[in-house]
Structure 1
Amino acid sequence: MLLLRPPGVYRPQGDTLLLTETLRRSGMRPGARVLDICTGTGAVALAAALGGASVTAVDVSTRAVLAARLNARLRRLPVKAVRGDLLRPVAGQLFDVIVSNPPYVPGRSAPPRHGAARAWEAGDDGRALLDRICEQAPRHLAEDGMLLVVQSALSGVAPTLAALRGQGLKASVVARRTEPFGPVMRGRAAELEARGLIAPGQRSEELVVIRADRVESRR
């Protein structure tokens, strides 16, 4: 769908599409309570709302929140967009589905606190946001709830799976796709090669969607 995107807000790309496709195949029931973390333009939140969900969308960027609100309003979809840091704005709330397309690009320092780069910079190993989501999101999953998070394999799939399983969730990779590097990764390719994160000449990355389910024991 065509979305309004102010300057500085993350443009929906291949990772957004992969996450949206996976959500549509996930078996999400109509009426589900959905939380979209790092919503950007609200693309995934809108897809959930089109599937009949009641959606809360969160982003640290004021421009992103305004974009998500406007895109939802133009389509008359039930999306509540709020500004805040990851799950802090929804403290104490439970959701049937949590989705996230967080920043995951490996960088050279801590993620910036301001500017457009917040949408992709994720610290030295690309896990600054991923690790926090793995820690915090399980506490917000309702009984039989699921988490869907998209990331690059360059940021470490095994650590994400281990962290979610360590929280008692059943986690696995449910979707994969190889995508050519975007402008940020192309500009950083030489550095990534020097660090051994990509092979010489590599200009693509594998994107994965990890699904984690809260499976309650039944008597």
Structure 2
Amino acid sequence: MIGYWEGVNTFLAPGVYRPQEDTSLLAAALSDEPLPPDASVLDVGTGSGALALEAARRGTRVTAVDVSRRAVWTARINARLSRLPVRIRRGDLFEPVRGQRFDLILANPPYVPAPNGGLPPRGRARAWDAGRDGRLLVDRICREAPGLLRPGGVLLMVHSALSDPERTVARLREAGLKAAVTRRSRIPFGPVLSARADWLRERGLLGPAEESEELVVVRAELPV
């Protein structure tokens, strides 16, 4: 299937996360970063490769990683269609790039709180389910990303306000980075959150009449 995102034709295999509002919000944050043409960029959890391709269009050296075979296949096809050099690897989060350092890390991890938080997500749900607090991978990124940044390097991560951005900022600061929420956007509930709205209200994460979700971008920089 060929999809359309930000004016670019892209291939999307069944079960691969479709670029949505969170992708656009992170792409806008990426556009604000003053990257030199030879900067080294990592897109972790690349999905269709949309963000990796945005970075590659700026002449940067891009590595993209995803745990899903279908996502890796999709991202490789999109890189070929776009005629952009992106190095794409399959693996669990940062495992394929251990020992490397990057000027910029992009992360759009799963972040939706899930009622079956004690069980690992399966199938398509791996693209959004993230434990009962929505931080199954967010916390791992907070722990592991600082060790992959060069001095002056930046992490840009998007996730929902339902998964506690203040905690994200605090953990990144504890790791020695300068961190803050730099972008916010409120969007209507999609199918997943609509189906979980009552459960989220029971947990006190949503108000009685709340029918929209706030997305945030957290920017964290490793001091020089």
TM score, norm. by length of structure 1: 0.96
Q: How is 1:26-65 mapped onto 2 (pairs within 5 angstroms)? A: 26-65=33-72
Label 1:35 to 1:107 Cα distance change in 2 as closer, same or farther (>3 A). same
- Structure 2 residue 178 is the aligned partner of structure 1 residue 170: yes
Letter in 2 for 1:9: V
Within 2, Cα distance between the matches of 1:28 and 1:18? Answer: 18
Q: Which of 125, 130, 140 pairs up with 2:148? A: 140
**Post-superposition shift, 1:137?**
0.4
**Percentage of pairs with the same residue:** 56
1:66 to 60, 73, 77: 73
Aligned residues of 1:41 and 1:64 also touching (Cα < 8 A) = yes
Aligned residue pairs, count: 216
Secondary structure of 1:57's counterpart equals strand
The residue that corresponds to 1:95 in the other structure is 102
What is the letter of the counterpart of residue 82 of structure 1?
Answer: R
Matched with 1:4 is: 11
The CA deviation at 1:195 is 1.1
CA contact (8 A) 1:37 1:100 kept: yes
Deviation at 1:54, TM superposition (A): 0.8
| Structural mapping, 1:107-186, within 5 Å | 107-108=114-115, 109-110=117-118, 112-186=120-194
Deviations 1:133-176 (A, max 9, x none): 00000000011100000010110011100110011000011111
Mind listing any 5+ residue stretches in structure 2 that lack a counterpart? 1-7
Where does residue 111 of structure 2 map in the other structure? 104
CA deviations on 1:70-104 (whole Å, 9 max, x unpaired) are 10011111111111110011010000000000000
Superposition misfits of 4+ residues, deviation over 6 angstroms: none
Which residue is equivalent to 2:218? Answer: 210
- CA distance in structure 1 between the aligned counterparts of 2:87 and 2:210, rounded to whole angstroms: 40
Q: Distance in 2 between matches of 1:27 and 1:112?
A: 38
Is the CA contact 1:110–1:122 (under 8 Å) kept in the aligned structure 2?
A: no
C-alpha offsets along residues 42-90 of structure 1, whole Å, 9 cap, x if unaligned?
A: 0100000011111100111000011001100111111111111100110
> What amino acid maps onto 1:119 in structure 2?
A
Tell me the SS of whatever aligns to 2:182.
strand
Deviation readout 1:164-204 (Å, 9 max, x if unpaired): 00110000111111111111011111111111110012111
TM-score (norm: length of structure 2): 0.94
What's the CA shift for 1:113?
4.9
Question: How much has 1:26 moved relative to structure 2?
Answer: 1.4
CA RMSD of aligned residues (A): 1.0
Q: Does 1:14 align with 2:21?
A: yes
Aligned equivalent of 2:199, options 191, 197, 201: 191
The one-letter code matched in structure 2 to 1:205 is E
- 1:116 is displaced (CA, Å) by 0.7
- In structure 2, the partner of 1:77 is 84
1:46, 1:87 → 2: CA distance?
A: 19
